[in-house]
Amino acid sequence: MNKTIQTVESAAAGSAFLIEDIYPLIDGGRFAVKRIAGDRVEVWADIYRDGEATIRAALIWRGEQDREWRREPMTHHGDDRWCGAFTPTEAGQYVYAIEAWTDEFATWRHGLERKQLSGGDVTLDAIEGAGLLTKAHGARQDAAAVIFRQCEDYLQNGDVASLLATDLGEAMAESQARPDLTRSPNFPLIVDRDKARFSAWYQMMPRSQSTVAGRHGTLRDCIARVPDIAAMGFDVLYFTPIHPIGRTSRKGRNNAPVATEGEPGSPYAIGSAEGGHDALHPELGTIEDFRALVATCLEYGLEIALDFAVQCSPDHPWLRQHPEWFKWRPDRSVRTADGPYSDIVIPDFASVDRVGLWNAFRNAMLFWIDHGVTIFAIDNHDTAPLPFWEWLVHEIRQRHPEVILFAKTFARPKLMKGLAKLGFAQSFSYFPWRTAKWELEQYLGELSRYPERDFYRANLFVNTPDLLPYHLQSGEAWMFKSRVALAATLSGNYGLYSGFELLEHEAVPGHEEYQDSEKYQIRQRDWDKSGNIKPWITALNRIRNDNPALQQTTNLRFLGIEDGETIAFVRAAAEPANTVVAAIALSRHVRETWLPLGDLTIDVGGERRPVTAVENLMTGEQSRIEWGGIKLRIDPDRDPALLFRCLA
């Protein structure tokens, strides 16, 4: 009997409203939605209750560490669907929620007006409405004055019109009690700065920047290369690890199991007697040199991104200082990684002192942030548990919301998406292995649709120190241009590894790896050698910088072009209004095809107008649209990518 009574009482005390189908929301609010500072964050939800009462709703939001909520009204859009919006102007971690309540005064007013229209007596209804005025509380001074004035008017003249004044309804909307106020759970939101959405990365091996054959490059050599990299239009200079390299089990040329005298080893075998994750390789220079590099990059509009690998060499100081952070074999030797990675030791993230280990990695990142690093490419995700990554991302973002963390892993699809959900601002993608038209359309379509677009920002790298895709191994210039054009126009973020602009393509036979990889040796290059595609990359980056449509990833639509070896798509930006159409060749032969544009419209002064012409962004030539499109002739050896700005 008592159990039944408790159940009824519990049900009676439940929420009056259902707040459902909330957008944006990732996995029911378990993970944060991502946006960019200054963007308008629209939130939609189904909000309803029983009966015909007048409902009000508000979108509330605050910084994760703030105490005070900010409120924005939500608007009813029909069929119980509501929408509200807010605009966070600074990077950081936020929460948002939805509140709903019954507007008793508006409900009373609606009922009275309906009764008036039917000719009914509203005398008692008016008295009830006046009674609601006496219950108002907490009103601002101007609202309280309106309520008092209209209440006095009614008491003096008895005219119900005094209770129907528009300004009284507005004053009561914020001043009356809300006994059935219902609030949704709090939902997380990550707001990044604009670099998380739009960036062009140039990755290089610092030790290979010397102009003297056989000499180890320095940070001063890297400084000398900054003007050339900036001139190509890149805004992120991405370094492989710059820490001391271990000697035990050091790898030789082409990943030989034993290094010969003088071979530098892999920079991913981090740590030696000279230091670990918070130290510079001595041959690169000093911390003062690093600060000079950061200053030069800022002068040229570049930011430094560092590879940050949560792994060690057998010589890392931590093995001596904190042996409990590692796994040891019965013969007292440390457990190293298998096969080609035998020069690497993976820490034990579940060790008895995992708190100390986790904090050590965080503190190493904070050290480099203090020295001007604003972006980290986090490597080796497979060897650390997901709770570690979630904790590390939160720790860094809480202290430095301006820092961008890039999940640098080619793993299983769901693991890659899971890492993005944990808070990484950018992620690697499977773009290097998507070559056919249908593969590109399917994959990029997936990344630009809900829900992926709300948490996964793909950075489309065309090559990496570990990856020379098969389609680049022929060394054909048109293919290099086609791939970098696809990467740069399909996503707001893309990158390349140095040597790409020189068409470097010699691979280990049968593998997607560079022959004589500079991961295991020092190289020198002539950065202006004949046949390079630097001018073409420069023009491509200029077009990206000039067209907001190419500075985001979410607004992407593929066009139904008949040629199976040409991919065509539209990218559009709302503010400022800008629409770009791309047609990119996927094979070498010359082709002529029809580009359908008849359904395209663009914004002109707030009005949608049909596209009447397009401008070639490489040549400046304009073409009028006739019969719903334009005829294209693509000669890949000359230019495999045609990029057009739409004109009204």
Distances (CA, A) of 472 to 142, 387, 538, 623: 70, 37, 20, 33
pTM: 0.92
Q: Which residues contact 480 (CB under 8 A, 6 or more apart)?
A: 462, 472, 500, 503, 533
Amino acid at 492: G
Q: For residue 186, how far is the Cα from the chain centroid?
A: 21
Is there a single domain that holds both residue 97 and residue 187? Answer: yes
Is there a single domain that holds both residue 76 and residue 186? Answer: yes
Domain boundary residue, one of 191, 220, 237? 191
Sign of the alpha-carbon torsion through 368, 223, 546, 481: negative
Distances (CA, A) of 429 to 238, 239, 458, 491, 493: 17, 19, 6, 11, 11
Under DSSP, the state recorded for 458 is: B
Is there a single domain that holds both residue 61 and residue 185? Answer: yes
Q: Which residues contact 462 (CB under 8 A, 6 or more apart)?
A: 431, 432, 469, 472, 480, 483, 484, 487, 494, 495, 496, 497, 500
If we measure between CA atoms, which residue out of 630, 556, 549, 557 comes closest to residue 597? 630
For every residue of 477-514, DSSP letters joined together read HHHHHHHHHHHHHH-SEEEEETTGGGT---B-TTSSSB
Mean pLDDT, rounded, for 271-276: 97
Q: How confident is the model at residue 1 (pLDDT cuts 50, 70, 90)?
A: very low
Is there a single domain that holds both residue 186 and residue 60? Answer: yes
For residues 468 and 462, the answer to whether their CB atoms sit within 8 Å is no
Beta-bridge partners for 96:
61, 187
With a pLDDT cut of 70, the percent of the chain lying above it is: 98
pLDDT tops 70 at residue 342: yes
pLDDT tops 50 at residue 606: yes
Q: What is the CA radius of gyration of the chain?
A: 31
Chain position carrying tokens 């997607």: 512
How many residues comprise the chain?
Answer: 648
E strands, 502-640, where?
556-558, 566-573, 578-585, 591-596, 601-604, 607-610, 613-616, 622-624, 629-634
For residues 21 and 77, the answer to whether their CB atoms sit within 8 Å is no
Mean pLDDT, rounded, for 99-119: 91
What pLDDT does 9 receive?
A: 52
3-class SS string, 536-562: HHHHHHHHHHHCHHHCCCCCEEECCCC
Domain boundary residue, one of 149, 174, 199? 174
Distance from C-alpha of 595 to C-alpha of 144, rounded to nearest angstrom: 63
Q: Which residue has the higher pLDDT, 428 or 576?
A: 428
Residue 604, Cβ neighbours under 10 Å: how many?
11
119 is a domain residue: yes
* Per-residue pLDDT reduced to its tens digit, 256-270: 999 999 999 999 999
E strands, 299-385, where?
303-309, 375-379
Give the 3-state secondary structure of residue 340.
helix
Residue 535 falls in which region: left (phi positive, over 0), alpha (psi -120 to 50) or beta: alpha
Distance from C-alpha of 143 to C-alpha of 146, rounded to nearest angstrom: 5
User: Residue 104: CA atoms inside 13 Å, Cβ hemisphere, count?
Assistant: 17
* Per-residue pLDDT reduced to its tens digit, 382-422: 789 999 999 999 999 999 999 999 999 888 899 999 999 99
3-class SS string, 212-281: CCCCCCCHHHHHHHHHHHHHCCCCEEEECCCCCECCCCCCEHHHECCCCCCCCCCCCCECECCECCCCCC
Is there a single domain that holds both residue 25 and residue 74? Answer: yes
Give the 3-state secondary structure of residue 20.
strand
For residues 426 and 407, the answer to whether their CB atoms sit within 8 Å is yes
Is there a single domain that holds both residue 98 and residue 113? Answer: no
What pLDDT does 8 receive?
A: 53
Distance from C-alpha of 456 to C-alpha of 553, rounded to nearest angstrom: 10
The CATH number linked to 152 is: 1.20.58
460 is a domain residue: no
Beta-bridge partners for 85:
42
With a pLDDT cut of 90, the percent of the chain lying above it is: 79
530 is a domain residue: no
* Per-residue pLDDT reduced to its tens digit, 512-556: 999 999 999 999 999 999 999 999 999 999 999 999 999 998 899
What pLDDT does 102 receive?
A: 93
The whole-chain average pLDDT of the chain stands at: 93
Is there a single domain that holds both residue 55 and residue 167? Answer: no
Residue 339, Cβ neighbours under 10 Å: how many?
8
Angle at 123 between CA 121 and CA 128, to 5 degrees: 125
* Per-residue pLDDT reduced to its tens digit, 439-495: 999 999 999 999 999 999 999 999 999 999 999 999 999 999 999 999 999 999 999
Domain boundary residue, one of 140, 174, 208? 174
* Per-residue pLDDT reduced to its tens digit, 130-157: 898 888 877 788 888 888 899 888 888 8
* Per-residue pLDDT reduced to its tens digit, 198-245: 999 999 999 999 999 889 999 999 999 999 999 999 999 999 999 999
Is there a single domain that holds both residue 170 and residue 22? Answer: no
3-class SS string, 26-60: EHHHCECEEEECCCCEEEEEEEECCCCCCEEEEEE
Distance from C-alpha of 301 to C-alpha of 283, rounded to nearest angstrom: 26
CA dihedral 379, 385, 391, 397 (to 10 degrees): 20
Q: How confident is the model at residue 14 (pLDDT cuts 50, 70, 90)?
A: low
457 is a domain residue: no
Q: How confident is the model at residue 52 (pLDDT cuts 50, 70, 90)?
A: confident
Give the 3-state secondary structure of residue 327.
coil
Tell the burial category of 166 from Cβ atoms under 10 Å away from its Cβ (0-12, 13-18, 19+): exposed
If we measure between CA atoms, which residue out of 42, 67, 69, 71 comes closest to residue 56? 71
Is there a single domain that holds both residue 136 and residue 186? Answer: no
Under DSSP, the state recorded for 67 is: S
For residues 586 and 567, the answer to whether their CB atoms sit within 8 Å is yes
Is there a single domain that holds both residue 159 and residue 67? Answer: no
645 is a domain residue: no
Is there a single domain that holds both residue 83 and residue 118? Answer: no
Domain of 154, in residue numbers:
105-174
Structural domain total, the chain: 2
**For 44-53, 119-128, 183-192, 227-236, which range has the lowest pLDDT when averaged over its residues?**
119-128
336 is a domain residue: no
599 is a domain residue: no
Residue 353, Cβ neighbours under 10 Å: how many?
13
Is there a single domain that holds both residue 47 and residue 164? Answer: no
The CATH number linked to 67 is: 2.60.40.10
For residues 559 and 568, the answer to whether their CB atoms sit within 8 Å is yes
79 is a domain residue: yes
Report residue 137: phi and psi, to 5°: -155, 160
